[in-house]
Structure 1
Amino acid sequence: MTSQKIVRAAAIQIAPVFDSAGGTLEKVCQAIADAAKKGAQLVVFPETFIPYYPYFSFILPPVASGSAHMKLYEYAVVVPGPVTDAVAAQARSLGIVVVLGVNERDHGSLYNTQLIFDETGCLVLKRRKITPTFHERMIWGQGDASGLKVVKTGIGRIGALACWEHYNPLARYALMAQHEEIHCSQFPGSLVGPVFAEQIEVTIRHHALESGCFVINSTGWLSDEQIQSVTPDPALQKALRGGCCTAIISPEGQHLAEPLRSGEGMVIADLDMSLITKRKRMMDSVGHYARPELLSLMINDKPAVPMFSETLPSNQYPTEPLVFTPFSSTHSSE
C-alpha cells in the first residue's frame, strides 16, 4: 500500500473540436498545462476525447453515418504516433500523470482506447474497451483482457475503465485484485440526459466503496452549436444533452469537490492516500473480506491476435492454445 501522502488530481470536463484533426489535441495539451499550474499531479480526460466521441452513431442510422464514420477514421489516433508523442512530451515536461481516451486506429479498425502516461512521459498502459456498448458496436472493435492492468506510477497504482465497462463487475474486480489505489473512469457526456448523469454518480461512488480506492471521473461536453452540427432535428438534439458528472470520489464514497454537471471546467481535489487504509481496515474486498476458496476470478489476459507466426518472438505471440488460468497477484504490474 502507498505510504501516507497527498496527491492532487484534476478531472477535466471539456468539449472536443469536431472540424480539426489537431484541434482537440491542442485543447488537451492546454488543459494539462492549466491543471499543472493548479498543482495537479494527475489529470483525467473524457472517453475517446481525441478526436471526439462518435456522438453521431447514437442518433444516426448506420446507412446515414458513413461519411461521419470515415471522417473519424481520418482523424483517429495511431498508437504510438504524433498524438501520443505530443501528450507524452507535455506529461514529461510538467511531471504529471495523464489519462486520456482516444479513438485508436489500427489499420482497418477503430478501438475505444485508454492511454496512461506516467510523470516521466512514458506510455505505461494502452487498453481497449472490452465491449463497446449498443450503438458503439458499429464503430469500434472489441478489446481484450491484456489491458486489464493496474500500473504503478510515482503517485500510486492506477487502473482505468471506460463508461459501461463499470457494469461488468468482473472487469472491475480484475483491477481491484491488483490493488488499484486511483481508478480513472471516463464517460462521453452529452448523452441521454440527467438519468445518465445520475447513473454515473451511482456507479463511480459504488466502485470507490467496493474497491476502497479514489475514483477520478471525467465526462465530455458539447455546446449547443456542436449539438446542432451533429443533427438539425430538435427531437434528436435532446438525446445529446445532459449526462455529465465530472467528479472526484474518496474511498469512503464521498465527493471531494463539487461535481461538474454542465459546461466546460475542471474539478480538482487533494487525495489523502491514508483514506485507502482507513476504508480497507473495515472492508477489503480482495483481502480479509474475500473468500477465494469459494469465489474467485479467472482471466484470459493474453492479447487476442488474428495470426501466430513462428518467426516472431514467442513471448509476443503465444504458440500454445489460449487457456484460462486462476487470477493471481502475478498479473499485477509492478
Structure 2
Amino acid sequence: MDTVRVAVVQAASVMMDQEASVEKACRLLEEAGRQGAELIVFPEAFLSGYPRGLSFGTVVGHRSPEGRKDFGRYWRSAVSVPGPAIDRLSEAIVRVQAYVVMGIVERADHGGQGTLYGTMLYFGPDGTLLGRHRKLKPTGSERLIWGEADGSTLIVIDTPFGRVGGLICWENYMPLARAAMYDKGVTIYIAPTADARDTWQATLQHIACEGRCFVLACNQYVTKDTYPQDLAGYHELDAWPDEMCRGGSAILGPLGDYIAGPLYHQEGILYADLDLRQIEEARYDFDVTGHYARPDVFTLVVDERPLKNVSIP
C-alpha cells in the first residue's frame, strides 16, 4: 500500500461510566468509518476516563474513606480484557472494517486483582484484539491509581500499511523506550496523551523527526460537565476552569510537519491520507536504527519477559 487514510478522534469519555463510554466510542468509530478511515485512534484512557483534577482523598500518609469510594467507582468503570466492553467494541469494529487503537483503563482480573493499568489496545478490522501495551511509568499522581507494566507489552502491529506502535503520554519522554520502539521498525507511531500544553507539540515533532515516522497524536477534549456530580471529590474541581483539557490532537509527517491539527477547544475527528513513500524519503539522510546508529558505541538491552511475583514450576 502506498497510502492509508487515518482518523484521530478527539473526544471526552463519559467519566466513570463504562457503558456510556463504549456507546460513544462505537458512534465515533462508525462516523470515522463512514469517512473511509482504515486506521482509527482514540485518546488515552477513553474507556472510561482520565480523572483529571481528582485526588481520591489522598495526601501523604492518609487516604480518606470518601476517596476510597470514588476510587471504587473508578475501578468498577474500568475495562476487563477480555470482557463485555471489548466484545461490544469488536462488534463495532467489524462493521467499520478498520484497524483501531483504543485507550482504556484496564482492570487486572487476576494476578494483582485490584490494580488498574493505563493501556492501549490494538484491534484488527475483523474485530480481533491483536495486542495491548500497558503504560510502563504512570506519571505523578497517576501512580496512585495505575500500576507499572513490565516490558512484555512493548509491541508493534504489522498491518498492510506498515508497522503500527507507540507509547502513552509521558512514556514518550523516555528516550530508551522510544529507542526500543524505533528498533521494532515502527512507521506509524501512536501517541495518545492527557497533556494539552504547547510543549507537548514540540515532543510530537521531535518524535516524527527522530523516528522518521508518521505520528498520530490523540488527546481528549474535556469539560467539567463530563464528570458525575455526585462524586465525593467533585468539589475539588472548583479550582479548575470549565474547559479542563483543551485537546491538541494532531497528525504529523516523518519530517515533523503537521498534516492535520493540532485541534483545540472542541471535540472532533482529524483525517489524513498518508503517503507511505515519505517514510523512505525521510530516512534518506537520517535512519535512527540504520545508518545513524552506532552499535559499536551504544547498545540497549530490553527485557520483554512477562514478570510475575510467583513462579510455580
Specify if TM > 0.5.
yes
Measured in 2, the distance between the counterparts of 1:173 and 1:234 equals: 38
Residue number among 278, 292, 298 corresponding to 2:295 in the alignment: 292
Report the alpha carbon displacement of residue 125 of structure 1 after superposing the two structures with TM: 1.3
Report the alpha carbon displacement of residue 108 of structure 1 after superposing the two structures with TM: 1.6
| Counterpart in the other structure of 2:4 | 7
* 3-state secondary structure, aligned to 1:209: helix
* 3-state secondary structure, aligned to 2:258: coil
Query: 2:13 matched to 1:16?
Result: yes
Measured in 1, the distance between the counterparts of 2:106 and 2:224 equals: 27
Unaligned runs of 5+ in 1: 190-195, 311-334
1:287-316: CA deviations, max 9, x gaps? 011011111211111011121122xxxxxx
**What amino acid is aligned across from residue 217 of structure 2 in structure 1?**
N
Measured in 1, the distance between the counterparts of 2:179 and 2:242 equals: 32
Measured in 2, the distance between the counterparts of 1:227 and 1:51 equals: 11
Measured in 2, the distance between the counterparts of 1:137 and 1:163 equals: 14
Report the alpha carbon displacement of residue 234 of structure 1 after superposing the two structures with TM: 6.7
| Counterpart in the other structure of 2:270 | 267
Query: 2:286 matched to 1:283?
Result: yes
* 3-state secondary structure, aligned to 2:247: coil
Query: 2:132 matched to 1:126?
Result: yes
8 A Cα contact 1:231 1:237, kept in partner: no
Structure 1 pair 19/309, CA: closer, same or farther in 2 (3 Å)? Answer: closer
* 3-state secondary structure, aligned to 1:215: strand
Alignment RMSD = 2.0
**What amino acid is aligned across from residue 92 of structure 1 in structure 2?**
V
8 A Cα contact 1:56 1:68, kept in partner: no
Residue number among 14, 33, 47 corresponding to 1:50 in the alignment: 47
**What amino acid is aligned across from residue 203 of structure 1 in structure 2?**
T
Map residues 315-326 of structure 1 onto 2, 5 A cutoff.
Answer: none
**What amino acid is aligned across from residue 131 of structure 1 in structure 2?**
K
Measured in 1, the distance between the counterparts of 2:132 and 2:30 equals: 22
Query: 2:156 matched to 1:150?
Result: yes
8 A Cα contact 2:16 2:73, kept in partner: no
| Counterpart in the other structure of 1:244 | 247
8 A Cα contact 2:16 2:77, kept in partner: no
| Counterpart in the other structure of 2:89 | 87
Select between 61-70 and 10-19 the one with higher mean Cα deviation. Answer: 61-70
Measured in 2, the distance between the counterparts of 1:224 and 1:216 equals: 26
Report the alpha carbon displacement of residue 227 of structure 1 after superposing the two structures with TM: 6.1
Measured in 2, the distance between the counterparts of 1:239 and 1:207 equals: 31
Query: 2:210 matched to 1:213?
Result: no
Query: 2:198 matched to 1:198?
Result: yes
Structure 1 pair 130/121, CA: closer, same or farther in 2 (3 Å)? Answer: same
Q: Provide the aligned length of Structure 1 versus Structure 2.
A: 301
8 A Cα contact 1:57 1:136, kept in partner: no
Report the alpha carbon displacement of residue 228 of structure 1 after superposing the two structures with TM: 8.8
Structure 1 pair 133/39, CA: closer, same or farther in 2 (3 Å)? Answer: same
Map residues 107-186 of structure 1 onto 2, 5 A cutoff.
Answer: 107-186=113-192
| Counterpart in the other structure of 1:98 | 100
Report the alpha carbon displacement of residue 129 of structure 1 after superposing the two structures with TM: 0.3
Measured in 1, the distance between the counterparts of 2:227 and 2:27 equals: 23
Measured in 1, the distance between the counterparts of 2:56 and 2:107 equals: 23
Measured in 2, the distance between the counterparts of 1:241 and 1:158 equals: 30
* 3-state secondary structure, aligned to 1:259: strand
**What amino acid is aligned across from residue 117 of structure 2 in structure 1?**
Y
Measured in 1, the distance between the counterparts of 2:137 and 2:186 equals: 21
Report the alpha carbon displacement of residue 127 of structure 1 after superposing the two structures with TM: 1.6
Unaligned runs of 5+ in 2: none
**What amino acid is aligned across from residue 124 of structure 1 in structure 2?**
L
8 A Cα contact 1:41 1:155, kept in partner: no
Report the alpha carbon displacement of residue 53 of structure 1 after superposing the two structures with TM: 1.0
8 A Cα contact 2:18 2:79, kept in partner: no
**What amino acid is aligned across from residue 139 of structure 2 in structure 1?**
T
Measured in 1, the distance between the counterparts of 2:119 and 2:202 equals: 24
- TM-score, normalising length: structure 1: 0.85
| Counterpart in the other structure of 1:73 | 75
